[in-house]
Amino acid sequence: MTLQSPVVSVIVTVYNREAYLRDTLRSILDSKYTNFEVIVVDDGSSDASTNIASEFAEQDQRVQVHRNEQNLGDYPNRMKAASLAQGRYIKYVDSDDLIYPHSLAIMVESMERNPDAALGLAHSMPEDESPYPWCLTSEQAYRKHFLGRGCLSCGPSGAIIRRDAFEAVGGFRPEWGVLSDINLWCRMAACWPTVLLAPSLVWWRRHAEQEYTKNDAELTYLELGYGLETEALMSAECPLNLSDRAAALERKRQHFARRLLSLAIRRHRFRSAFGLYRSSALTLAQLAQGFRSYA
């Protein structure tokens, strides 16, 4: 393979990340796997992010830097960056995260061993069922995610995506906001096998500028998460049988009801809980199920 036909397009979307970007790009270029391009797309930063990326581009021909004339926002910018990719796989690395030297090699090898899979996700928890990587059918992935301990709740830095499948489903849907990634994983998992990768392939940095640290982030994640998972289960693409689908929907409603009741009663945020209840289409009977223990 040559630079003109890389196996992996590593995508770094940036907006005012001068404090972290240098470490992120260095972690990518330190990868033991080397057949990749790095696409940096700056979304109109007002700091030195573009200059930092350009320094790396001058030193390594695999790095290309683009800057948007107007700010697109997080997921529209991810889509813009993906449109520039040439690799068989897309690998997002957020501009404040790090990958380890072995991570890219493990991800690529796991996908190459499972060519029917469209998506690989670094699982969020260790498992004792079998060694990684696992390749799950669509039904197995949905059963594990919606009726088990979960497997599709992973940020973009923990994912590797087959580019043709990404394009086939239309990529991210930015209307899902901060959960546009989980929405995409659900849509892809419904159509193709998913590879579960080992945990700890990414170092997820935590800092005060991230979306989930904002004052209303908890309510946003709660409302969007319930709507997203309900839509996935009710979609015609859902691979679960009718019985499992009904059980998963009931479980999601009960969990959402419990979260609302906790918000209102334990945390004294009655107005917020009531607003979410009214927009959720839950009945009073379904809300009351939140007081019951899980089956």
Indicate whether 71 and 124 sit together in one domain: yes
Is position 273 within any domain? Answer: yes
Q: How far is CA 31 from CA 108, 220, 279, in A?
A: 12, 35, 46
CATH number at residue 102: 3.90.550.10
Residues 114 and 259 grouped into a single domain:
no
144 with 270, same domain: the answer is no
Single out the residue of 219, 1, 23, 200 nearest to residue 112, CA to CA. 1
CB–CB of 34/8 below 8 Å? Answer: no
Sheet (strand 36-42) strand order = 63-67, 36-42, 8-14, 89-92, 159-162, 119-122, 194-197, 134-136
- One domain, residues 49 and 187: yes
pLDDT-derived band at 159 (thresholds 50, 70, 90) equals very high
Tokens coding 73:
């926002």
The whole domain housing 126 covers 8-205
Residue 42 in domain: yes
Asked if residue 48 is part of any domain, the answer here is: yes
Residue 13 lies in a domain: yes
Cα–Cα dist 168/199, whole Å: 28
Q: What is the pLDDT of residues 7-22, one digit of tens each?
A: 999 999 999 999 999 9
Q: Are 249 and 139 contained in the same domain?
A: no
Q: CA triplet 62, 118, 172: central angle to 5 degrees? A: 75
Domain count, the chain: 2
| Residue that finishes a domain, picked among 205, 232, 265 | 205
Q: Is residue 1 domain-resident?
A: no
For residue 3, being part of any structural domain is answered with no
Structure confidence at residue 1 (pLDDT): 39
Task: Tell me the DSSP string of 246-257.
Answer: HHHHHHHHHHHH
What b-and-e string marks burial along 239-277, b requiring 16 or more CB atoms within 10 Å of the CB?
bbeeebbebbbebbbbbbbbbbbebbeeeebeebbeebb
- Among residues 175, 205, 235, which one ends one of the domains? 205
pTM of the prediction? Answer: 0.93
> Is residue 189 located within the same domain as residue 264?
no
User: Do 35 and 159 fall into the same domain?
Assistant: yes
User: How does the average pLDDT of the chain come out, rounded?
Assistant: 93
Taking the C-alpha atoms of residue 207 and residue 224, their distance in angstroms, rounded to an integer, is 22
For residues 49 and 119, state if they share a domain: yes
Looking at the fold, whether 195 and 217 belong to one and the same domain comes out as no
Q: Is the pLDDT of residue 218 over 90?
A: no
Residues 162, 65, single domain; the answer is yes
Considering 162, 178, 205, which residue would you say is the last residue of a domain? 205
24 with 158, same domain?
yes
On whether the CB atoms of residues 10 and 36 are closer than 8 A, the answer is yes
Q: How does strand 89-92 pair with strand 8-14?
A: parallel
Structure tokens at 23: 């470490």
Q: Can you name the residues that pair with 181 across neighbouring β-strands? A: none
Q: Is residue 27 part of a domain?
A: yes
Which residues make Cβ contacts (< 8 Å) with residue 259, sequence separation at least 6?
Answer: 222, 290
Q: Are residues 138 and 255 in the same domain?
A: no
Q: What is the 3-state secondary structure (H, E, C) of 95-118?
A: CCCEECCCHHHHHHHHHHHCCCCC
Residue 144: Cβ within 10 Å count: 21
Whole-number percent of the chain with pLDDT over 90: 85
What's the pLDDT tens digit per position in 65-124?
Answer: 999 999 999 999 999 999 999 999 999 999 999 999 999 999 999 999 999 999 999 976
Q: Which of 18, 207, 10 is nearest to 90 (CA)?
A: 10
Whether 2 is in a domain gets the answer: no
